[in-house]
Structure 1
Amino acid sequence: MFALSCHTQNYAWGSADAIPGFQRQLASGNPVAEVWMGTHPLGTARIIDAEGVERPLTEVSGDLGFMMKVIAAARPLSIQVHPDGDRAQAGFAAEEAAGIPLDAPHRVFKDPRPKPEMVYALSTFDTLVGLRRTSEIVRVLRNLEHPLTKELTESLLDAPGFAGIIRLIEGLVTTPPAAEVVGEVVAECQRALDSGLDIKRAYATAVELAATSPGDVGVIIALLMNRLTLQPGEAAYLATGIIHAHLSGLCLEVMVSSDNVLRAGLTTKHIDAEGLVQCLEEGTSRAARVEPQVVNYSTDVFIPGHEFALSVTQSSPADPAGVTLPAAGSRLLVCTDGAVAVVNARGDILRLQRGDAAYAEDADGALRVLGTGEVAQAFVPAGAETGQLFDLL
């Protein structure tokens, strides 16, 4: 087992105090958006050995196929889609062949991997996930008296269903409406709110987004999307091809080790309209929630698929012998609350407080957690290679 020193990303949408507070540090006043735990080349964690010397995690773990992040959103992230494996491999190969630097602003594919991910809320966490049904979009748009919403409604009635909604998004992204037109639609949303009307929080969301991204086409696209609120301890899975945009809150993300993002709005970063439309796949927030398996009353285990899983374990003096964590192999851990001691099969002890991260390898065997606190653990579920995932119960 090794304590980890993790890379942070200071994107503009990050919170100035959420992650510093989580890590028991003083805030600098600058936004801190993400903490990366894993071996992705754009943010490789470093192990801290017994002598306090740091070196890359890859020296002991090799290239991990999964990673974990802490995300703190003080303002909305971009509306985005992540590619599947085939698109990621083809896109990465094409950009490599074109000689586009990995850190170029217009670079889309940073690696050849897909990027499915799961969000686990550490605070109330708001996000937009997937597309509303045709009938719901029509209801949302028909209450807004504006030529653009009328045009979108008529287009969707002519071509209903998922393909028709994608056509709307393609038109909006490739030929965005003028900023003043977006502002007029937002004014219509505000008028509806003032009259006591909202449909599944569509109008409130548009008004909120316009406050931070005035005139952005993403405000209009958001009207077509489901809004989902997770309470602490709840999780949602975002498969590849599912359009989404995180809005606010603190969460853990577990994902394939990838940074491939295709954006549609609410951003000043590069937008690849054609690539984004090609990546879109059908999905709604109703299918996004992940229900945990409960192990020994102390651990919730979320297994959305074969690529990764997350366990969240609570310990207290009620378990004097400690609580055994599920899973084996390579594991990434973060203490999400309290102060605990993690003990491996050899009896080695690693002490963690809220915000501390660690790496455990297969040779560490089963891990036990003692103390009063909570530990989240990212891992690949046993049986992933064959598709026969293990039963933790």
Structure 2
Amino acid sequence: MLPLTCPTQAYDWGSTDDIPGFQRRSGDGKPVAEVWVGTHPLGTAMVDDGQGGERPLTEVAGELDMMLKILAATRPLSIQVHPTAARARAGFEAEEAAGIDVTAPERVFKDPQPKPEMVYALSTFDTLVGFRPTAEILRVLMPLQHPLTDSMAKNLRGNPGFAGIVKMLESLLHEPPSAEVVKEIVEECRRAVGEGIDIKRAYATAVEIEEFHPGDVGVVVSLLLNRLTLQPGEAAYLDSGIIHAHLKGMCLEVMVSSDNVLRAGLTSKHVDPVGLVQCLEEGMSRVARVTPQLFGTSTDVFSPAREFALSLTQSSQAEPAGVVLPARGQRLLVCTGGELALLNRRDEMLHLRRGDAAYADDNDGELRVIGTGEIAQAYSPDGAAGRLDDLL
């Protein structure tokens, strides 16, 4: 078991206080958006080299297939899609051949990996996930008295379903409405909210987003998307090809170790609306929520994909012998609350407090946790300590 020192990302949508507070330190007034726990080349965790310095986790673990992040947003993130494996590989090879530096702002495919991901809420967490059904989009558009929304509704009636919704999105991104038109639509949304009318929070969402991104086409696009609110302890899975935009809150993200993002609104970063549309896959937030399975009596396991799983284990003094965690193999761990100690198969001990991260592998065998608190563990489902079904 090795304690990790993990890099942070200072994106403009980050919080000045949430992550520093989570890590039990004072902020410097600058936004801290993410902590990267893993071996991605754009943000690799470090371990003690035993000589008073540090070395990359890759020297110990190799290149991990998964990554764990701590994310804190105080304003909406970009409207985005992550590519499938085939698109990621083709896009990466094309940009490599074109000689675009991997750190260049216009670089889209930073690696050849897809990026399915799951979010686990540490606070109330709001996000937009997937397109609303055709009938619901029409219900959203009809009360808004504006030529653009009238035209959108007319086009969708003539071409309903997923293909028609994508066509509508493509039209919005190809010829974005002016800032004045976006403002007019927001005023219609504000009027509807004032009259006590809202369709599954579509209008309130547009009003909220416009405060941070006035005049942005993403404000109008948000009307087409499902708003999903996760309470602490709840999770949602965002597969490759699913359009989404996180709005606010703090969460853990577990994902394939990738930084491939295609954006098309609500951002100051490079946008690729054509690429985003090409990467879209059908998906609805109705199935985004992930229901955990119980491992033992103290651990929830969220395992929505073959690439990764996330376990959350509660520990207390009621279990002085410790709680067994449900995995072996390579694991990334973050203490999400309290003060805990990890014990490996040799009874070696690693103390962790809220915000601390660690790495474990096959040499550690089965891990136990003692103390009072909570620990999150990202791992490959193939490294599970046993079939969950056998424990239910």
Q: TM-score category by the smaller chain?
A: over 0.9
Letter in 2 for 1:48: D
With over 3 angstroms needed to count, the CA separation of the structure-2 counterparts of 1:374 and 1:19, relative to structure 1, is same
Gaps of 5+ in 1: none
Once the two structures are superposed, residues 245-268 of structure 1 have per-residue CA deviations (whole angstroms, 9 ceiling, x without a partner) of: 000001000000000000111012
Task: Find out whether 1:199 has 2:199 as its counterpart.
Answer: yes
* d(CA) in 1 for partners of 2:179, 2:108: 25
> What CA distance in whole angstroms lies between the structure 1 residues aligned with 2:296 and 2:86?
39
C-alpha distance after superposition, 1:226-274 (max 9, x if no partner): 0000000000000000000000001000000000000111012111111
What is the rounded CA distance, in whole Å, between the counterparts of 1:312 and 1:321 in structure 2? Answer: 18
Backbone CA RMSD of aligned residues: 1.3
What is the CA distance between 1:53 and its match in structure 2? 3.1
Q: Does 1:280 align with 2:280?
A: yes
Contact 1:213/1:266 (CA < 8 Å) preserved in 2? yes
Residue 383 of structure 1 and its aligned partner are, at CA, apart by 7.2
Shift of 1:179: 0.6
Q: 1:156-193 CA deviation, whole Å, 9 max, x = no partner? A: 01100000000011011111111110000000000101
Report % sequence identity. Answer: 67
Structural mapping, 1:47-126, within 5 Å? 47-49=47-49, 52-126=52-126
Note the C-alpha offset of 1:51: 5.5
- Does the aligned pair in 1 maintain the 2:317–2:372 contact within 8 Å? yes
Pair 306,13 (structure 1): closer, same or farther in 2 beyond 3 Å:
same
Distance 2:51 2:22 in 1: 26
Query: Conserved in 2, the CA contact under 8 Å of 1:326 and 1:392?
Result: no
Report the AA paired with residue 222 of structure 2.
A
Q: How does 1:341-360 map to 2 (within 5 A)?
A: 341-360=341-360
Asked if the contact 1:125/1:230 (under 8 Å) is kept, the reply is yes
Secondary structure of the corresponding residue to residue 193 of structure 2: helix
Q: CA deviation at 1:382?
A: 1.6
State the match for 2:339 in structure 1: 339
Matched with 1:129 is: 129
Question: Which runs of 5 or more residues in structure 2 are unaligned?
Answer: none
Q: Is the 8 A contact 1:382 1:389 kept in 2?
A: no
Distance 1:31 1:126, change over 3 A: same
Matched, 1:246 2:278: no
Is the Cα–Cα contact under 8 Å of residues 381 and 390 in structure 1 kept in the other structure?
Answer: no
TM, length-normalised to structure 2: 0.98
Contact 1:120 1:251 in 2 (8 A): yes
Matches within 5 A, 1:159-174: 159-174=159-174
Q: Deviations over 1:39-98 (max 9, x none)?
A: 000000001255553110001100000000000001000000000000000000000000
Structure 1: distance between partners of 2:232 and 2:376:
13
Structure 2 residue aligned with 1:149: 149
Report the CA distance between 1:295 and its aligned residue: 1.4
Q: Distance in 1 between matches of 2:56 and 2:315?
A: 30
Matching residue of 2:377: 377
Shifted more, 47-56 versus 216-225: the winner is 47-56
- Contact 1:67–1:254 (CA<8 Å) still a contact in 2? yes
SS of the residue 2:382 aligns to: coil
Total equivalences in the alignment:
390
What is residue 26 of structure 2 aligned with on the other side? 26
Secondary structure of the residue aligned to 1:226 is: strand
CA contact (8 A) 1:2 1:49 kept: no
Q: CA deviation at 1:341?
A: 0.4
Residue aligning to 1:259: 259
Give the SS at the match of 2:286: helix
Runs of 4+ in 1 over 2 A off after TM superposition: 48-53, 388-393
Contact 2:338 2:372 in 1 (8 A): yes
Describe the SS at the equivalent of 2:264: strand
CA distance 1:392–1:41, change in 2 (3 Å): farther
Query: d(CA) in 2 for partners of 1:172 and 1:129?
Result: 18
Q: 1:377, 1:136 → 2: CA distance?
A: 38
Q: Read off the aligned partner of 1:94 and give its amino acid letter.
A: A
**In 2, Cα distance between equivalents of 1:347 and 1:51:** 24
Give the Cα separation in 2 of the matches to 1:389 and 1:151: 53
Alignment match, 2:36: 36
What does residue 5 of structure 1 align with?
5
CA distance in 1: counterparts of 2:72 and 2:388, whole angstroms: 32
- 2:158 paired residue number: 158
1:392 is displaced (CA, Å) by 6.2
